[in-house]
Chains A and B, each alone.
Chain A
C-alpha cells in the first residue's frame, strides 16, 4: 500500500510540471506587459525596459520557465506584482477561507445526503421517497451561482438574517456552503438511493435477512458499505470539481478565498501569483484524488488485496 502511495505521489510530478508549463505558455501569449502593469500606464518606456531587464523578462522563454521551476523547487514562488508580498503568503492567507467553504460543504453534503438517500431507498415509493426525489431534481437543476444570488437576495438583502459578503464569522459561510453543495447533494442523494436499491436486491442481503438480522443490521452492516463504494468515487470527483465551484461562489459572495484571489491575479496579469495558485490547486486536487483512492481501497477489500497480491506476486518472482 505505501509503495502504491509513493508511486502515485511520484506520478504527480510530471502532471504538475505539464500543468505549470501549459499555464506559463498561456500567460506568455496573453496580452499585457507585466513591467508595464507594475509601473502603470504613465511610466516612461525606459523605466519599463529597465524593469523588464531586472525581472528577467527579456530572457528566452524556456530559460524563464526553467528559472521559475528552479526557484519554485527551492520554495521561492516569487512576489506578487501587485502587492509585492511573497506569493506563498498571499495564498496561505486565503487558503483557510476556501478550505472552510469546500470542506464544510462536502462534509455537510455527505452527512445530510447519504442518510437521506438511504432512507429514501429503504422507504422506496413512499411519500418521503417521492418528495426527496422531487426535491433532488429541483436542486440538481439549479446552478450554484444562480442559487447563490437568490439566497443572497432572500436571506441577506430582504430578511437580513445572514451577512451578504465577507468571511468574518461562521455565519458568512452558511449561504455560500448551501449554494455550493445544493446540486452535489442532490446528485449524492440520488446516487445513494439507486446504489442502495441495487444492493438491497443482492442475494447476500436476502441471506443476511435469512440469518435473522434485523432490518437495521441488514441496512447498516450489510448494505451500506457495499452501496457506499461507488459513492466515494463520486465524492472524490465532486471534491475536485468543488475547487472550481468555490471560485464562482466566492465571487458571488465576495469571500476572500483562493478563487477571488485567482480572478484578481489573472485580471492583473500577476504571473507569479497565477502560477503559484495553479500549482497549489493542482497539488491539492492530486492529493484529494489519492486520498479518495486510498479510502476506496480501504473500504473495498477486493481492491486492498489487489495491492497486496501484486506485492506478493512480485516477491515471489524475485
Chain B
C-alpha cells in the first residue's frame, strides 16, 4: 500500500454511557483506506461495526455515545476536530452512509424523490436550478433501477428492495469519495441482494468511490473487498488483504472460528460459522485478550496480559501465539 490514505482511523476508542453501565463499544482500532479501495468490516453482532461507521461521520447518539480517544483523518483533516458546521459539508457530500436498515432509514412523510433531491439541495455549491435537480434525480432513479414515475411516492409504497435502492441513490447522489455501507443487503432477499451488490460494484467502479463495507456475508467480502478487518469486542483482531484473509495460512483463532475451517476464496462457504460461547458483555470486558474466554488455545498469560499485534506485510493478527512465519 502506497500513497496518502483517503481515510485514516487511528487508535479510536468509543463508549456508550447507557444507564449506569459504560459500554466499551470500540477499543482502539486503527485502519487506513486509499482512494477507490474497499475495506470489509466483519464480525459478530455487537462487535462495534456500526459504532465505527457512525464515529467517522460523528453521528453517535448525542449524550450517549462518546468518542474518547483517537483521530479520524479524512484527506489529512481530523474530522474529530471539526466544528459541527464544518462537518455538514463532509456529511453526504464527501462521505455518505447507507444505513443498516433501509426499512426505517427513509422519512415516512416525505416523497422518496424529494428525499433524493434533498441531497442536491443541501450540497448545491453549483447553484443548480430546480429543473436541473429534477433531471439529476431522474438520472439517479434510472441508475439504481427505480422507474422515475415513482419518485413522488412515499416510502411505504416502495418494496424493501426499492427502498434499499432509494437509500443507495441518496448515498451516491453527490458522488462521495467514501461510501460507508452498513450491511446494505442483509434486509433483502437473496435475488435482490445480488442485484444490489452488482449495482453498487458498478457504481463504485464508475465513480472511483472508496468504500467501507460492513457485512456478515463472506461471499460479499470475497467479491467486493480489497482489505478485510475482522472485529471482535471492539477490536480489530485480524486485518489483511482479501488474499491474506482467505488464502493465508496464519489466522487469529477468532477468524478461524468465524470461517469454520478457513474457507478459500472460491469455496462455497457463504455464511459465518457460529462459535461456541458468547461475545463478552461490552460493559464488562475480560482482562487480557478479549477472546480468551472462548479461545481453544487460551493459556494463563492470555487472561492476564493484552496480546500484541503481529504483522507480516499487509497482514496483522492480534494474538501472542501466532507466528507470522508459520502456524498457531
Using CB atoms and an 8 Å cutoff, list the residues of chain A in contact with chain B.
124-125, 201-204, 206-215, 217, 221-222, 225-226, 229, 299-302, 305
Contact = CB atoms under 8 A, between A and B. Distances in A.
Given A204-B104, A214-B88, A305-B157, 9 more contacts: A124-B63, A206-B105, A209-B57, A209-B91, A212-B90, A212-B93, A212-B123, A226-B108, A300-B109
A202 B91 contact: no
25 contacts: A202-B104, A203-B100, A203-B101, A203-B104, A204-B104, A204-B105, A207-B97, A207-B105, A207-B106, A207-B170, A209-B59, A210-B57, A210-B91, A210-B96, A210-B97, A211-B91, A211-B92, A213-B92, A213-B122, A225-B109, A226-B108, A300-B109, A302-B108, A302-B156, A305-B157
B13 interface: no
Given A226-B109, A300-B109, A302-B108, A212 B156 contact: no
Contacts of B54: 206
Nearest to A302: B156
A214 B97 CA distance: 16
Q: Which 4 A-B pairs rank lowest in CB-CB distance, beginning with the nearest?
A: A212-B92, A212-B91, A211-B92, A301-B154
A203 B108 contact: no
A220 B154 CA distance: 19
Nearest to B157: A305
A300 B89 CA distance: 31
Contacts of B84: 215
B297 to A, nearest CB: 40
Contacts of A202: 104
Contacts of A217: 122
A124 B92 CA distance: 26
Nearest to B100: A203
Contacts of B119: 211-212
Contacts of B61: 201
B154 A302 contact: yes
Contacts of B122: 211-213, 217
Interface residues of chain A: helix, strand, loop or mixed (majority):
helix
A213 B109 contact: no
A210 B107 contact: no
A125 B93 contact: no
Interface string B72-114: 0000000000001100111111001101110011111111000
B92 A305 contact: no
Interface of B: 54, 57, 59, 61, 63, 84-85, 88-93, 96-97, 99-101, 104-111, 118-119, 122-123, 154, 156-157, 167, 170
Given A206-B59, A305-B156, A211 B118 contact: yes
A154 to B, nearest CB: 40
A33 B106 CA distance: 66
A13 B269 CA distance: 67
A209 B157 CA distance: 24
Nearest to A207: B105
A234 B97 CA distance: 36
Nearest to B91: A212
B89 to A, nearest CB: 7
Contacts of B85: 214
A213 B156 contact: no
A204 B106 contact: yes
Given A213-B122, A226-B109, A207 B99 contact: yes
A207 B119 CA distance: 11
B108 A212 contact: no
B107 A204 contact: yes
A301 B114 CA distance: 14
A310 to B, nearest CB: 14
Given A226-B109, A299-B109, A212 B88 contact: yes
A225 B156 CA distance: 16
Nearest to A222: B107
B123 A301 contact: no
B118 A213 contact: yes
Nearest to B60: A206
B179 to A, nearest CB: 11
A221 B110 CA distance: 9
Nearest to B90: A212
Nearest to B122: A212
A32 B38 CA distance: 89
B59 A204 contact: no
B42 to A, nearest CB: 22
Contact of B154 (A201, A209, A299, A305): A305
Nearest to B57: A210
